[in-house]
Structure 1
Amino acid sequence: MNAQPDTPSELPAQQQPTQPGLTEPMTPTPDHGEDSWVGHDRLAGRRALITGGDSGIGRAVALAFAREGADVAIVHLPEEQEDADETKRLVEETGRRIVTMALDLTTEQGCIDAVAKTVESLGGLDVLIPNAAHQKQRDGVEDLKVENIERVFRTNLISTMVLAREAVPHMSAGSSIISTTSIQASDPSPGLLDYAMTKAALVAFTQALAAELGPKNIRVNAVAPGPIWTPLIPATGFPDDKVENFGQETPLGRAGQPAELAGAYVYLASDEATYVSGAIIPVTGGRPF
């Protein structure tokens, strides 16, 4: 891959009115590894389910997995169909299979269907990547609404637990679960109070489930992104200056690109990580986790 993507330290001010955000309106367009990721069959024959796989980190992981020889299933919301279609096109160009599913993971049935349809379509499940997330800028604790908190918790945390519950019975020795936590788990921002809480909980989830599933040789790990340029960012409701300066507080002085996350997931799913479980890999531009 390139030593460093062409990412400006300052980004243009931009807003998307609702979540989920979409890729097409973003400036600059995120780098998912379309022109840089070269596969080496590190995941040949594996079957992966990636939630939030239509854009951002999920798209980069789906593309990297496919180029490494895996078949993938992705979950997205109906309003993300255009992004999902582009991910499907990129994966199909590799010659691997892809299944796209428009499902609401805030419901238990949506999670059940995601795993069932993956197993039916791909013939099994070796890697679960619960990556879908929701975050919104909060103006203060006094303005928190229960329905908004519940959406964040159901998307980021409860769906991860239900997906794992459904997936583990289909997994054999050597399989893995890789969740997406965040720098917010260790360095939370007040405006992302509920989001940060879910990401901290995912650290505990990773460590506890790794201990439970270790005897079955099913590994459980997590990746902790720092500030990554995905559709989530312009759709969070950040002030313009926060978007413009996004990522500048890192030692590397810029936001990361989704492609720069993919390698961590590939490593954790591969045979190179057979003795890695209960680990959190920070990809944060130098911010300590």
Structure 2
Amino acid sequence: MTYREPEYKEGRGWGEPVMSDPSHSCKRYNGKNVVVTAGTLGIGRAMVERFCEEGARVFLCSRKAPNVEQTVEELRKKGYNVGGTTCNVGESKEQEDFLRAAIDFFGEERIDTLVSNAGVNPKAGPTNDMTEEIFDKIFNINVKSYFVLVKLAMPYLKRGSSVLFVSSVGGFLPSPPLGLYGVSKTAVIALGKVLANELGPMGIRVNTVCPGVVRTKMAGMLWKSEDADGAAKKNGFLQRFGDPVDISGIAAFLCSDDASYMTGESVLASGGNMSRL
């Protein structure tokens, strides 16, 4: 592997987030069909690229058509077998259409890996200051859409298929000013565990990856702040923020046959922050 951790340079910050490291030699997804929601930016985009690098056929979605078109075009230029469509995961009908489009793209009614990655946090602040509308939006996207996606995908998930949820380090200790966001991510961890229990006898695995602070657009206020270097040094044992590539490799492992005896797990990837025994 040639990935090098980001270096902080005074006055210039951390540089661009690292999205991929194609130097690895893994090819665990040859012939596999992979579906990823919110797959055009940040961690979602990095996961799509990693699955593609390992030989998968990947179908992705995003709310915005230009993002889908640009991502698909860029990855196809690299020789990857990838397609995509628009989808607001907060609408069950759109998720149904998204999965149907994926099946049409694959040419067979089989999904080997299903990744639910969408997440929102429309407002930060004290929990009691949040409106019911904000609460509903957070839980509709961050929790309900995960439940709906798996439910709709069940006809295409076969023995040996895997499901991956994307939660957060905040799911282990929800705290201000992202209290409701953290609570929603706790719910995602719990949903993954109960589905792993129920789907295990069918040979379908369900795991959750819980990133710490990763250099994405959503976390920009942390890693782009004036005290970004100081904040990074407080962010765990590695004293740096994560890059999307740090999560994509973990996702690829959890969904592969290398993790065939792992299910119901919530894997924390936070550079040492909130590490557990």
| Residue type of the alignment partner of 2:15 | P
Q: Which amino acid aligns with 2:94?
A: G
CA contact (8 A) 1:71 1:97 kept: yes
The answer on whether the counterparts of 1:251 and 1:285 sit within 8 Å (CA) in structure 2 is yes
Instruction: Give the C-alpha shift of residue 244 in structure 1.
Output: 6.3
Residues 254 and 11 from structure 1, CA distance in 2 versus in 1: closer, same or farther, beyond 3 angstroms?
farther
The residue number in structure 2 matching 1:110 is 94
Cα distance in 1, alignment partners of residues 10 and 130 from structure 2 = 31
Which residue of structure 2 lines up, in the alignment, with residue 177 of structure 1?
A: 163
Structure 1 match to 2:18 = 31
TM-score (norm 2): 0.89
The residue number in structure 1 matching 2:126 is 140
Aligned to 1:2: 2
Evaluate the alpha carbon distance shift between residue 146 and residue 42 of structure 1 in structure 2; reply closer, same or farther with a 3 A threshold.
Answer: same
Deviation for aligned residue 1:2 = 3.1
Question: C-alpha displacement at 1:237, in angstroms?
Answer: 9.4
1:261 aligns with 2:247: yes
- State whether structure 2 residue 141 is matched by structure 1 residue 155: yes
Q: Is the 8 A contact 2:238 2:271 kept in 1?
A: yes
Higher relative contact order (CA 8 A, sep 6+): 1
**One-letter code of the match for 2:5?**
P
Tell me how far 1:9 sits from its aligned partner: 8.1
| Aligned AA (1:101) | T
SS in 2 for 1:139: coil
Unaligned runs of 5+ in 1: 14-26
**Range moving further from structure 2, 270-279 or 130-139:** 130-139
| One-letter identity of the residue aligned with 1:87 | T
Higher mean Cα deviation, 196-205 or 185-194?
185-194
Q: Distance in 1 between matches of 2:223 and 2:80?
A: 37
Instruction: Report if the CA contact (8 A) 2:163-2:207 is conserved.
Output: yes
Aligned amino acid, residue 170 of structure 1: Y
The answer to whether the 8 Å contact 1:224/1:280 transfers is yes
The one-letter code matched in structure 2 to 1:158 is K
Residue type of the partner of 1:213? L
Which residue identity is paired with 2:197? A
Identity rate of aligned residues, in percent?
27
Number of residue-to-residue matches in the alignment: 272
User: Where does the alignment leave 5 or more consecutive residues of structure 2 unmatched?
Assistant: none
Alignment of 1:192-207 (within 5 A): 192-207=178-193
Distance 1:185 1:12, change over 3 A: farther
Q: Deviations over 1:87-124 (max 9, x none)?
A: 32343244332122111111111221221211121133
Distance 1:9 1:264 in 2: 28
**Would you say the 8 A contact 1:10–1:246 is kept in 2?**
no
Corresponding residue number in structure 2 for 1:280 = 266
TM-score scaled by length of structure 1? 0.86
Q: 1:7 to 1:128 in 2, by over 3 A?
A: farther
The separation in 2 between residues aligned to 1:11 and 1:135, in whole angstroms, is: 29
Number of the residue aligned with 1:88? 72
Q: RMSD of the alignment, in Å? A: 2.4
Query: Offset at 1:175?
Result: 0.3
Residue pair 1:176, 1:218 contacting (<8 A) in 2 also: yes
Q: Secondary structure at the match of 1:5?
A: coil
**Equivalent residue of 1:174, what SS?**
strand
Stretch moving more, 85-94 or 47-56: 85-94
Mark the CA change 1:126 to 1:246 in structure 2 (over 3 Å): closer, same or farther. Answer: farther
Partner residue of 1:231 out of 217, 231, 235: 217
Deviation, structure 1 residue 248: 3.1
**Paired AA for residue 120 in structure 1:** D
Whether the 8 Å CA contact 1:11–1:245 is kept in 2: the answer is no
